Homo-oligomer: A and B are copies of this chain.
Amino acid sequence: MKNSKLGVLMVGLNGATANTTVAGCYLIRKKLAPAYGLMTNEPLFAKHQLVKLDQLVFGGWDFANRDAARVADQQGVIPPALLNKVTGDLKKLKPMPGVTTAHDVDLFRRQKHAHKTNSLGKKLELLIANIERFKKTHRLDKTVVVFTGSPLKQFKPGSLHQNIKSFKQALARNHADITSGMLYALAAIETGSPFIDFTTNTTLEVKALVDYAKSKKVPLAGKDGKTGQTMIKTALAQLLKIKNLKLTGWYSTNLLGNPDGQILSLPEYGQNKFKDKLGVLQPILKYSDFDHSVDIKYYGPRGDNKEAWDNIDFLGWLGQPMTMKINWLGRDSILAAPLIIDLVRLMENAQRKGRGGLQTHLAFFFKNPLGAKPQGLFKEYQILEKLYA
A317, B338: Cβ atoms under 8 Å? yes
Residue on B with the closest CB to A33?
B318
* Chain B proximity mask over A206-247: 1 for CB below 8 Å, otherwise 0: 000000000000000000000000001001101100111110
Q: Which A residues from 292 to 319 make CB contacts under 8 A with B?
A: 293, 295, 297, 299-302, 307, 309, 311, 313, 315-319
A301, B313: Cβ atoms under 8 Å? yes
Q: How many copies does the complex hold?
A: 4
Give the distance in Å from the alpha carbon of A314 to the alpha carbon of B48 in the complex. 28
A299, B293: Cβ atoms under 8 Å? yes
B301, A248: Cβ atoms under 8 Å? yes
A316, B331: Cβ atoms under 8 Å? yes
B327, A324: Cβ atoms under 8 Å? yes
Give the distance in Å from the alpha carbon of A42 to the alpha carbon of B329 in the complex. 33
Least CB distance from A361 to B in Å reads: 15
Contact of A244 among B41, B251, B327 (CB under 8 A): B41
Least CB distance from A198 to B in Å reads: 15
B300, A243: Cβ atoms under 8 Å? no
What chain B residues lie within 8 Å of A318 (beta carbons)? 24, 27-28, 33-34, 36, 78, 82, 334
* Chain B proximity mask over A76-119: 1 for CB below 8 Å, otherwise 0: 01101110000000000000000000000000000000000000
Q: In the complex where A322-B330, A324-B326 touch, is A36 in contact with B301 (Cβ < 8 A)?
A: no
* Chain B proximity mask over A32-44: 1 for CB below 8 Å, otherwise 0: 0111111101100
Within 8 Å of chain B (Cβ to Cβ): is A335?
yes
Q: Which A residues from 1 to 53 make CB contacts under 8 A with B?
A: 20, 24, 27-28, 33-39, 41-42
Stretch with Cβ within 8 A of B (4 or more), from A144-152, A164-172, A375-383: A375-383
- With A255-B311, A316-B338 given, can you name 4 additional A-B contacts, CB distance below 8 Å? A39-B244, A242-B378, A253-B309, A326-B326
